Structure 1
Amino acid sequence: MKRSTKVGQELISTAHLTGYQQNLLKRINNIAVSLMPEFEDKKQAMDAVTLDDGSLMQLICSIQMEKKTRASDLKICEVRRRRENLEAFYNSLQELGGILKVYDVAHKLGVTRQEVIFRVKKKQLIAFKQNADYIFPVFQFTDDGLIPGFKEMMSAFDANTHSLLRFGVLKAPIQLSECVSKTPIQIMQDGAKPEELELAIRSARLCGNHAAN
């Protein structure tokens, strides 16, 4: 019964398509089916399932290009490396709590969408371009706004430090004592104790100095 209901829903959802659209849908389906051997590994398949639609499309396009390209082995390796880096990046965002869109951030901060974009351009928030929109790692927010210590961390970076580099610094462990190390993200999530936050801020300042060199 459930199976027939599901099939019925699928028929209804495509019934409004024109003949040309139906043919295009078949082509898209054929491409998707041809790529399924690339996801035989369970982890690869599950990682792909967790991506949003835009990121999944980028992944599919890179796999298709890798399959069809007749370029040199070096070019194929570059395509594969970009794909793996993209997967690793989105996985790291998921491990840190996921992402928010602009309207989510505007709601959390109690500001307009335009104000959120302004803060991104001023490097007051960490954001990454995805298609024509921005995505924001969740870790920088709480239910009441920004996580404690985040403003100080952003101010410590050189103004020209890219969001990816800032993100890397925030994920890098800092040795707090002989037996304890934390990332700046963990320090902020633990309440941004002054002595710990100062060490995190120092790492952000050092990042700016290295970038300048």
Structure 2
Amino acid sequence: MDQAREKGIFLEYLTYDLEDTAGINGLVKRVKGAVDTATATRMALINNAGTVAPVQPVGRSSSAAVRAALHINLAAPMLLTSAFIEYTADLPVDRRILNISSGAARNPYVGWGAYCTTKAGLDMFTRCVGLEQKNMANPVKIIAVAPGIVDTAMQESIRNTAEEDFPNRNRFIALHEKGLLTSPDAAAENILRLFLSEEIETGGIYDIRHVP
């Protein structure tokens, strides 16, 4: 907030529970209403919110936890994307959408059934929207990016999971102990550099670790 203020950038925060997908259209309307569309040159949507829970084999995962994962990781970004495209369709600005993916979208893990599935779904949704937008007069540039293993609260939660629920836990503990996690600031800088590049392919699926 202080850094933004020093650069004359106005920020407005809206709190919303993305598990409540019924109100997402209203949320996007509120956001658009707070933007000076007369002077805007770019509008962007970054779908970063996510949950790794439930970290358990599917047969022991509660229906409520699975439903929450589906809403937060997949339904919410799909609905946000749909509303963003609709509500910015009449604006002659550069429009971009970034979906935060994961290596788990391509690699299955015991105990991560909901997480892997929702991230794989998000990747496919990104590809579908990319195909839809390619021939539009002012296409939305949409990509999904796997950020690598970032030192966040989610990683701390993974390390504290019971081994019977997540047999790969020790691998993540070792990565943390060896200092091999990417810092959030470094991950954000690399992702934004890619996101704002003119070289991205709409509908593209990227792994930030493999981007020059």
TM range (shorter): under 0.3
Of structures 1 and 2, the one scoring higher in RCO (CA 8 A, sep 6+) is 2
TM (norm. structure 2) is: 0.26
Greater Cα radius of gyration, structure 1 or 2? 1
Structure with greater helix percent: 1
